[in-house]
Chains A and B, each alone.
Chain A
Amino acid sequence: MKIFNRSLVVLLFLILYLPIGVLVVNSFNASRYGHSWKGFSLQWYEKLWHNEALMQAFFNSLTIATLAATIATILGTLMALAIYRYRFRFKAMATGMLFVVMMSPDIVLAITFLVIFLAVGITLGFWSLLIAHITFCLPFVVITVYAQLKDFDPNLLEAAQDLGASESRILLRIILPLVLQAVVAGWLLSFTLSLDDVIISSFVTGPGYEILPIRIFSMVKVGVSPEVNALAALLLALSLLLVTIATLLTRNKAKS
């Protein structure tokens, strides 16, 4: 049983990594199709560099991911704080809404975003993408930051209050330094979530602002595009770097 289970784990990991491995290897393969090795080549990277539409979409995606992650982190940290520290009307509704965003399938969220943008009259493009990405990243930031807020001693805050510290001073001088690690982890998680999204972006994107998943989707739908392999290898390296940073951060947290 033990041997069977362990072989299953090894086999599943092989299957999990096989497609990714094929992508990376093929990004250096002179052959257009993946089944034979025709020698090492950087031609797909060169093609990628000269594919202006793809590079522009890549740049746009990085812009949206950076902005969305930053704004979602600020908003999410404030929300976690409000839920942890304040009592207010409709608080249960606010936590309920965050839960809904986290649990809803992407396709449902995508439609709710599209419907509100059409109703309010926001043109589909940069702003609609940004707002949607901020919103679907929010609950993950709130959860990460809230988990850390819950861990520390509330007496610390009461003491500061008794000593006459203002609310903004408490936030900046006491709470922020204590949750900084969770804030950074929340940013990294949001950044990857934003880069990974396909479904929501497909609905709220507009002709004026094309981002990566939409561009890649139209390229690979018809056939094989080796410059996508090169881009995939670059994105993989980026994700790997970010995941490693996030893991190291959370590991330090576990130690302290």
Chain B
Amino acid sequence: MLRPAIIILTLGWLGLFVLAPHLLVVLTSLMTPHPQHLGTYPFTLDAYVQLLDPLYASVLLDSLGLAALTTLICLLLGYPFAYTIAGLSTRWRALLLFLLIVPFWTNSLIRTYAIKLILGNKGLINGSLMNLGLIDQPLQLLYTPFAVVFGLVYILFPFFVLPLVSSFDKLDPGLLEAANDLGASRWQRFRHVVLPLTMPGVIAGSLIVFLPAMGMFYVADLLGGAKNLLLGNVIKNQFLLVRDWPFGAALSVTLILLMAGLLLLYAWSNRRIHRRGGLDDENL
């Protein structure tokens, strides 16, 4: 009695609230817009054609660019960060990871608002600089793409670092010793042992940062001003204001396809490491 009930509950909930909605979004993206309903017949590819419209294509490209920049900054700061933390003693490591997680469990909208307090015309940076007499006019930091990227990096950084730390943890120190004994230089050890083995962590982190970055409309709204900087802003407007649901749905299908592509890349990089027994032997 209990067993079938649990199975039905599992399949029922996931089917109704995960599978069916995803199929419905794909279906909606193929319909003709209708003011009252999700969409109406006939089936059409219009919504996808609309994506190529220069107006939306430029938002899509801008958004991809901002998300890529965010991911790149996370990578440049996060890689040495994770490397350093992974190399610390267990106690320090646990403490620093805890400190990294605390803000990440605090409401991200509130953290975005906090950044606004710092970057604003009367905020901490401008206020301090003016009090010190270094500038007469406040610097325009807020409502710029810089502020948006700063906010995205700020909120997504811990998500990038956590998988990376665990992939540094899996690194076998024996491999580095072996490379050392075989006469590899510091750079060679890094390039042929450390880097390839932590690649899955880098890709996992990038995946966790890149896609959500495009969707975080509230960061763009609060820090970037009333511009459609991110794909998330366009999706939100199409759904909640314009009510062109097929187009909004087509935008999210595009994001889903991007996600699928990146997941395949991740699976591929993991397999590659497995096949090669962990070493980039081709180049050694």
Is A94 a contact of B14 with CB atoms below 8 Å?
yes
Contact with B212, one of A20, A106, A213 (Cβ below 8 angstroms) = A106
Does any Cβ of B come within 8 Å of A167's Cβ? Answer: yes
Which residues of chain B from 208 to 235 have a CB within 8 Å of any chain A CB?
211-212, 214-218, 221-222, 231-232, 235
Task: Take A78-B10, A97-B18, A116-B16 as given contacts and tell me if A105 and B214 are in contact as well, using a CB distance cutoff of 8 Å.
Answer: yes
Is A221 a contact of B221 with CB atoms below 8 Å?
yes
Which residues of chain B from 35 to 91 have a CB within 8 Å of any chain A CB?
38, 77, 80-81, 83-85
Is B109 a contact of A216 with CB atoms below 8 Å?
yes
Q: Give CA–CA (A242, B123) in the complex, Å.
A: 31
Task: Take A36-B131, A111-B249, A220-B113 as given contacts and tell me if A100 and B18 are in contact as well, using a CB distance cutoff of 8 Å.
Answer: yes
Query: Interface size bucket, A side?
Result: 35 or more
Task: Take A9-B84, A35-B126 as given contacts and tell me if A118 and B10 are in contact as well, using a CB distance cutoff of 8 Å.
Answer: no
Is B24 a contact of A115 with CB atoms below 8 Å?
yes
Residue on B nearest A93 in the bound complex, by CB? B19
Residues of A within 8 A of B259 (CB): 103-105, 108
- Most chain A C-beta atoms within 10 Å of own C-beta, residue among B17, B24, B207: B17
Is A35 a contact of B123 with CB atoms below 8 Å?
yes
B1-42 interface mask toward A, CB cutoff 8 Å, 1 = contact, 0 = none?
Answer: 111001101110111111111101100100000000010000
Is B110 a contact of A116 with CB atoms below 8 Å?
no
Contact with A114, one of B110, B222, B239 (Cβ below 8 angstroms) = B239
Does any Cβ of A come within 8 Å of B205's Cβ? Answer: no
Is A240 a contact of B102 with CB atoms below 8 Å?
yes
Is A217 a contact of B109 with CB atoms below 8 Å?
yes
Residues of A within 8 A of B212 (CB): 105-107
Which residues of chain B from 100 to 141 have a CB within 8 Å of any chain A CB?
100-103, 105-111, 113-118, 120, 122-124, 126-128, 130-131
Residues of B within 8 A of A242 (CB): 105
Q: Give CA–CA (A169, B24) in the complex, Å.
A: 40
Does any Cβ of B come within 8 Å of A129's Cβ? Answer: no
Residues of B within 8 A of A15 (CB): 154
Does any Cβ of A come within 8 Å of B96's Cβ? Answer: yes
Is A232 a contact of B127 with CB atoms below 8 Å?
no
Query: Interface size bucket, B side?
Result: 35 or more
Task: Take A35-B131, A228-B110 as given contacts and tell me if A94 and B11 are in contact as well, using a CB distance cutoff of 8 Å.
Answer: yes
Does any Cβ of B come within 8 Å of A98's Cβ? Answer: yes
Residue on B nearest A18 in the bound complex, by CB? B118
Residues of B within 8 A of A228 (CB): 110, 113
Does any Cβ of B come within 8 Å of A178's Cβ? Answer: no
Is A196 a contact of B122 with CB atoms below 8 Å?
no
Which residues of chain A from 3 to 46 have a CB within 8 Å of any chain B CB?
4-6, 8-9, 12-13, 15-20, 22-23, 26, 33-36
Does any Cβ of B come within 8 Å of A123's Cβ? Answer: no
Is B114 a contact of A20 with CB atoms below 8 Å?
yes
Is A116 a contact of B105 with CB atoms below 8 Å?
no
Residues of A within 8 A of B195 (CB): none
Does any Cβ of A come within 8 Å of B263's Cβ? Answer: yes
Contact with A112, one of B21, B109, B218 (Cβ below 8 angstroms) = B21
- Most chain A C-beta atoms within 10 Å of own C-beta, residue among B157, B218, B249: B218
- Most chain B C-beta atoms within 10 Å of own C-beta, residue among A6, A231, A236: A236
Does any Cβ of B come within 8 Å of A101's Cβ? Answer: yes
Q: Give CA–CA (A93, B124) in the complex, Å.
A: 51
Q: Give CA–CA (A242, B98) in the complex, Å.
A: 12
Is A8 a contact of B84 with CB atoms below 8 Å?
yes
Is A19 a contact of B107 with CB atoms below 8 Å?
no
Does any Cβ of A come within 8 Å of B178's Cβ? Answer: no
Residues of B within 8 A of A78 (CB): 6, 9-10
25 A-B contacts (beta carbon < 8 Å): A13-B96, A19-B118, A20-B111, A20-B114, A36-B127, A75-B13, A81-B6, A86-B3, A93-B11, A94-B14, A98-B14, A107-B215, A108-B259, A115-B25, A115-B249, A116-B21, A119-B24, A195-B107, A198-B109, A213-B109, A224-B122, A232-B107, A232-B113, A235-B106, A235-B110
Residue positions of B touching A, CB distance < 8 A:
1-3, 6-7, 9-11, 13-22, 24-25, 28, 38, 77, 80-81, 83-85, 96, 98-103, 105-111, 113-118, 120, 122-124, 126-128, 130-131, 154, 157, 207, 211-212, 214-218, 221-222, 231-232, 235-236, 239-240, 245, 248-249, 252, 255-256, 259, 263
Given contacts A19-B118, A35-B126, 10 further A-B contacts (CB under 8 A): A35-B128, A103-B259, A112-B25, A113-B21, A116-B24, A195-B107, A212-B107, A213-B109, A228-B113, A240-B102
